[in-house]
Structure 1
Amino acid sequence: MQEDIQNAITALDLWVIAGYFAIIIGIGIWVARRTSSGEDLFLAGRSLGWAAIGFSLFASNISSSTLIGLTGSAYTTGIAVSAYEWLAGVPLLIMAFVFAPIFLKSRITTTPEYLDRRYSRRTRLYFSGLTIFFTIVVDCAGGLYAGGLVLNTFFPSLALWQSALAIGLFAGIYTATGGLKAVVYTDVLQAVVLIGGSAILAFVMFSDLDFSFANIRDSVDGENHLSMVLPLDDETLPWPGLFFGVSLLGFWYWVTNQYIVQRILGARSLPDAQWGAILGGMLKILPLFVMVFPGAMATALLPDIETADRVFPIMITTLLPAGLTGLVMAGLIAAIMSSVDSTLNSSSTLLIHDFVTRPEEETDPSTMKRYGTLATLGFMVLAIVWAPLIQFAGGLWDYLQQMFSVLVPPLVVLFVMGALSRRGTEQAGFYTLIFGHAVGAVLFCLGNPGVMGLVGMEPVYPVHFTINVAIMTVVCLIFYLAVSAVTESHEIDDAVIWQRGKALEDAAWDQAWYKDVRLHGAILVAMMLTILVVFW
């Protein structure tokens, strides 16, 4: 089968992919010539418009492992896993109406900087260091690793380390020289290619099924295959996890993670940040229809695929004509590059702003740019070296992915309570992080078969991680309130506290009804509710 996939790639496909790379190189060179300061490198000079923000949010989030994982899961277990995509609208609405106003009014450069202003510098450094580690070791190196596996499927003669090196060097160099603006502008192109290529594939597959949704239903295995709300004992996504856990996990990703939030921080105005966040939420609806449903349709068109990770490569090489195969492959490469460039840029931003420079020491803009470029290149090398080693970690890599559910609960409490209430003290903020992560790590180990197997025991906490994240959020909230009650409060800047008027005072809702950010938010809510009802 792998030989068939390789033979399905024609010279026309390779020319399409080469053309895509040429455009990316052109964008990188054009932006690099206009990047002169640290703020240009890290925040695109705070000049990003709403469309660039929205498309970049979408492109940076869709990795190669996401694209392949969504179609593979839809093929084997059903469409419920798509909830991580379309429910992204919930935290993005929170970003638009609660945190974007605070972040932009405060003129912060990193999300840990918000914790510094609300709590303390030690809280900031703890969160920043943790974010850098997971962003490089899990997100960036993981993206290179997954990308290498994908390219190896199409080009078996290409070794994993060679793929990781090529992708890392290409994305790392234009990110190091052009910064966030280069990342965002290339992301816009990558989002268009990714959506367009996936939509063409979905259309071709749907046409082969006579444009009949009934034919899809008849082809899948089991009544829950096309359902979002699954039983409590379901291993993929039990219903409490759908309603409570998914959005909490998304909060970490869309509201606190520098890797994503950097686009919001680089907005030229509050309305642009709000419109961009909501546009990102609307674009996140699309994967259900152009990535997940093709996986479900493949059960009828390609019923004998044995491995889930092979579903997407086989779909595009078997069902698409020459040229279109290259376009969709370019979209797949776009997904790889968008994740890698974003993680590199955000990690260098965190390192320079949170560790290297100090607020009381003004640094020359050109020096900041040089520091950022060197940091990006250093992280690029680290990720390239680490990526091939992931193959030797076996099941441990899956456990690292689930460790994000350990990170989330205390961060949700710190950011939400920090923004909405003055009652939280500095001690409550710092010790809630320590407490939440320590308890979360213990529960993770107690519920993990692989970890417990090392000591010859069965799991004693068999709770799905999407449910556990909700439980631990409540526990961290109780701990936060308890510590706040017995410790002294500190002076808090008004700029870091949410105020109702602050969320809309710069918005365009008073100019024309179609510019009203509240209307856009209501439309996004209606879209998510419609999906939930239709696919209940």
Structure 2
Amino acid sequence: MVPVAGMAWVDYAIVAVYLIGIVSLGLYLARRHSSTEDFFLASRGTTWPVIGLALLASNISSTTLIGLAGAAYGTGISVYNYEWMAAAVLVFFCVFFLPFLLRSKVYTLPEFLERRYSGLARSYFSGLTLFLNLVVDTASALYGGALLFKLLLPGVPLWQIVIVLAVSAGIYTIAGGLRAVIYTETIQAVLLLTASCVIAVRTFLKAGGWDAVMGAVDPAKLSLIRPLSDAAVPWPGLLTGVPLLGFYFWCTNQFMVQRVLSAKDENHGRWGSLFAGALKLPVLFLMVLPGTAAILLYPNLKSPDLVFPTLLFGLLPAGLVGLAVAGFMSALMSSIASTFNSASTLFTMDFVRRWRPEMQGAALVRVGRMATLVMAVAAMAWAPQIEHFGSLWQYLQVIIAYAVPPVMALYLVGIFWRRANAAGAAACITAGVLGGAALFVANTVLDVVSIHFLYVAPLLFVLCAIVLVLVSLATAPDAAEKSAGLVWTPAFFREESVRLAHEPFWRNYRVLAGLLLAATAVIVYTFR
């Protein structure tokens, strides 16, 4: 039984003020949307603090809040490996990928693949991203949010709660595009962090304090580096699968990288990305370890997914409950708005504008709005089905592990090897789809093999990379201009070093990246 304390009138007032305020702000910001670049990329004028906070808000969805606490409760803090790895992945992104992405002036990540390879690669990745936006990102966020509000409104069917949540986030997304989304996310990130601090402090105080939790919980559940036999994050998977999944999410997922595409310039894109990486480090203390402390407070919960709502409603007094629920809604709405806007951008720019090149400006914006509406309806229909799967976190990671390796091969090989060509890309996609489908059936349907999903991703990635290289070598190379300005080289690094030599250290992104990696290493070593 979940100890739900309920909400007092002051809590409902706080939530109502938040909801009305954030929707009103979004509609206010929606006044400027005259061009496609303004609607889809906020006129490419976003500064680094906004980018960093928006990235955090897009990432920390209701799914994450429920999933992190639940995983820490069920299997231990090894789930935090996905969080600190984000900092390392974002450093990689800033050094090797971001400058070429911004200089290409693309609207979408699949568009980058068309410039590097072919229209086939663009269409495949765009279709895949739309699918994942629907069944993974948006639907899971709606489902996670509905789980919490179902405790408040036990008599209301799950599907009705899902509809209300989707409509709330969809109003200003449809009206204002990325500008409305990204600036509301900035406020939502601050509220989310504040609410998480309140829940974490209250949880540890109730459990007897830091020393009490660290001393009473099984040491195995307080270790980031887990043995080979670990069911959640075995250490080989930490070295292979987690970085690959992190690269997909932070470097190629449209609903995340679209914030970086809106950057004022390369410096703001890099500073914002590194800021987001720094904001991921406190997640261990604010969102993961409270789930560990819950083992002492509520040892017999029926499902790990109930940990976060149990802490929220079981420990917080009136007023703070409303603040925490508003923080939860911030995470939920920012994530939903992000995926809605991402999906509309992908559909409009990767499909409609290619089919109808004469369509421009306001016409494309109208298409984007209709795409957002369709995405919202589809996500509302699918979200209730997630309860038939296992835990929310497992649902997310397993689907991504089978789906994204061919795209990771296209990016990671293509960024560093100029010879990768369109024929190799087509073969890579084919091998990834067939190999992923065969392994999924063998591993999950027929159960003839048993491979951890963190090994599935690197196995499929290696297969796809080998096929990409071999077919590229066996076929005629693409024209040299195809990869011009899209491939990292040592010469580019040296030229950049000359420019950075004249920057003060606090503006030098390499110095900032080094500090971020050092802080990450300290945390990992401490909780090894």
Which TM-score applies when normalising by structure 2?
A: 0.94
- Could you report, residue by residue, the CA deviation over 1:331-377 in whole angstroms, capped at 9, with x for unpaired residues? 11111111111111111101111110129935331222111112111
Aligned partner of residue 174 in structure 1, secondary structure:
helix
Give the distance between the partners of 2:287 and 2:378, measured in 1 at CA. 31
Matched ranges for 1:487-506 at <5 A? 487-491=475-479, 492-500=482-490, 504=496
The verdict on how the C-alpha distance between 1:179 and 1:420 changes in structure 2, with shifts beyond 3 A counting, is same
**Unaligned stretches of 5+ in structure 1?**
453-458
Aligned to 1:519: 511
Task: Report if aligned partners of 2:389, 2:395 keep a CA contact under 8 Å in 1.
Answer: no
The verdict on how the C-alpha distance between 1:412 and 1:311 changes in structure 2, with shifts beyond 3 A counting, is same
Give the letter aligned to residue 170 of structure 2. G
Aligned to 1:105: 103
Are 2:460 and 1:468 aligned?
no
Deviates more, 1:191-200 or 1:495-504: 495-504
Give the distance between the partners of 1:36 and 1:185, measured in 2 at CA. 18
Q: Which residue of the other structure, out of 291, 294, 300, is the alignment partner of 1:295? A: 291
Task: Report if aligned partners of 1:42, 1:349 keep a CA contact under 8 Å in 2.
Answer: yes
- Could you report, residue by residue, the CA deviation over 1:388-423 in whole angstroms, capped at 9, with x for unpaired residues? 3444x4459856751211222222221122111111
Deviates more, 1:112-121 or 1:501-510: 501-510
Matched ranges for 1:355-434 at <5 A? 355-358=351-354, 361-391=357-387, 393-394=388-389, 401-434=397-430
Aligned to 2:83: 85
Tell me by how many angstroms 1:510 deviates. Answer: 3.0
Task: Report if aligned partners of 2:418, 2:483 keep a CA contact under 8 Å in 1.
Answer: no
Aligned to 1:177: 175
Tell me by how many angstroms 1:45 deviates. Answer: 0.8
Tell me by how many angstroms 1:269 deviates. Answer: 0.5
- Could you report, residue by residue, the CA deviation over 1:492-535 in whole angstroms, capped at 9, with x for unpaired residues? 24122224565748987733221211111011111221122111
Give the letter aligned to residue 320 of structure 1. L
Q: Which residue of the other structure, out of 229, 250, 255, is the alignment partner of 1:254? A: 250
Aligned to 2:13: 15
- Could you report, residue by residue, the CA deviation over 1:195-219 in whole angstroms, capped at 9, with x for unpaired residues? 1111122122333455433x11222
The verdict on how the C-alpha distance between 1:306 and 1:493 changes in structure 2, with shifts beyond 3 A counting, is closer
Q: Which residue of the other structure, out of 109, 115, 120, is the alignment partner of 2:118? A: 120
Q: Which residue of the other structure, out of 408, 431, 443, is the alignment partner of 1:447? A: 443
Task: Report if aligned partners of 1:79, 1:296 keep a CA contact under 8 Å in 2.
Answer: yes
Aligned to 1:455: none
Give the distance between the partners of 2:114 and 2:463, measured in 1 at CA. 23
Are 2:65 and 1:67 aligned?
yes
Aligned to 1:456: none
Aligned to 2:468: 480
Give the distance between the partners of 1:74 and 1:137, measured in 2 at CA. 24
Give the letter aligned to residue 160 of structure 2. Q
- Could you report, residue by residue, the CA deviation over 1:406-454 in whole angstroms, capped at 9, with x for unpaired residues? 2222222211221111111111012101102211221122122xx11xx
Aligned partner of residue 136 in structure 1, secondary structure:
helix
The verdict on how the C-alpha distance between 1:367 and 1:360 changes in structure 2, with shifts beyond 3 A counting, is closer
- Could you report, residue by residue, the CA deviation over 1:235-283 in whole angstroms, capped at 9, with x for unpaired residues? 1111101122101111111111111110111111000100111111111
Aligned residues: 523
Task: Report if aligned partners of 1:219, 1:297 keep a CA contact under 8 Å in 2.
Answer: no
Tell me by how many angstroms 1:310 deviates. Answer: 1.7
Give the letter aligned to residue 273 of structure 2. A
Task: Report if aligned partners of 1:12, 1:322 keep a CA contact under 8 Å in 2.
Answer: yes
Give the distance between the partners of 1:512 and 1:9, measured in 2 at CA. 51
Give the distance between the partners of 1:157 and 1:140, measured in 2 at CA. 24
The verdict on how the C-alpha distance between 1:349 and 1:308 changes in structure 2, with shifts beyond 3 A counting, is same
Task: Report if aligned partners of 1:78, 1:227 keep a CA contact under 8 Å in 2.
Answer: yes
- Could you report, residue by residue, the CA deviation over 1:169-217 in whole angstroms, capped at 9, with x for unpaired residues? 111111011111111111111111111111122122333455433x112
Are 2:234 and 1:234 aligned?
no
Give the letter aligned to residue 340 of structure 1. I
Are 2:209 and 1:219 aligned?
no
**Unaligned stretches of 5+ in structure 2?**
none
Give the distance between the partners of 2:50 and 2:418, measured in 1 at CA. 34
Give the distance between the partners of 2:148 and 2:501, measured in 1 at CA. 45
Task: Report if aligned partners of 1:101, 1:502 keep a CA contact under 8 Å in 2.
Answer: no
Give the distance between the partners of 1:96 and 1:46, measured in 2 at CA. 17
Give the distance between the partners of 1:178 and 1:429, measured in 2 at CA. 36
Aligned partner of residue 87 in structure 1, secondary structure:
helix
Task: Report if aligned partners of 1:138, 1:401 keep a CA contact under 8 Å in 2.
Answer: no
Tell me by how many angstroms 1:380 deviates. Answer: 1.4
Task: Report if aligned partners of 1:510, 1:516 keep a CA contact under 8 Å in 2.
Answer: no
Give the distance between the partners of 1:106 and 1:229, measured in 2 at CA. 39
Matched ranges for 1:149-168 at <5 A? 149-168=147-166
- Report % sequence identity: 40
Tell me by how many angstroms 1:476 deviates. Answer: 1.9
The verdict on how the C-alpha distance between 1:360 and 1:177 changes in structure 2, with shifts beyond 3 A counting, is closer
Q: Which residue of the other structure, out of 517, 520, 524, is the alignment partner of 1:528? A: 520
Give the distance between the partners of 1:335 and 1:182, measured in 2 at CA. 16
Task: Report if aligned partners of 2:305, 2:391 keep a CA contact under 8 Å in 1.
Answer: no
Aligned partner of residue 424 in structure 1, secondary structure:
coil
Tell me by how many angstroms 1:8 deviates. Answer: 3.0
Task: Report if aligned partners of 1:418, 1:497 keep a CA contact under 8 Å in 2.
Answer: yes
Give the letter aligned to residue 165 of structure 2. I
Give the distance between the partners of 1:241 and 1:226, measured in 2 at CA. 18
Task: Report if aligned partners of 1:151, 1:158 keep a CA contact under 8 Å in 2.
Answer: no
Give the distance between the partners of 1:109 and 1:507, measured in 2 at CA. 27
Matched ranges for 1:46-57 at <5 A? 46-57=44-55
Task: Report if aligned partners of 1:271, 1:507 keep a CA contact under 8 Å in 2.
Answer: no
Task: Report if aligned partners of 2:304, 2:391 keep a CA contact under 8 Å in 1.
Answer: no
Are 2:323 and 1:327 aligned?
yes
Aligned to 2:136: 138
The verdict on how the C-alpha distance between 1:112 and 1:234 changes in structure 2, with shifts beyond 3 A counting, is same
Task: Report if aligned partners of 1:278, 1:521 keep a CA contact under 8 Å in 2.
Answer: yes
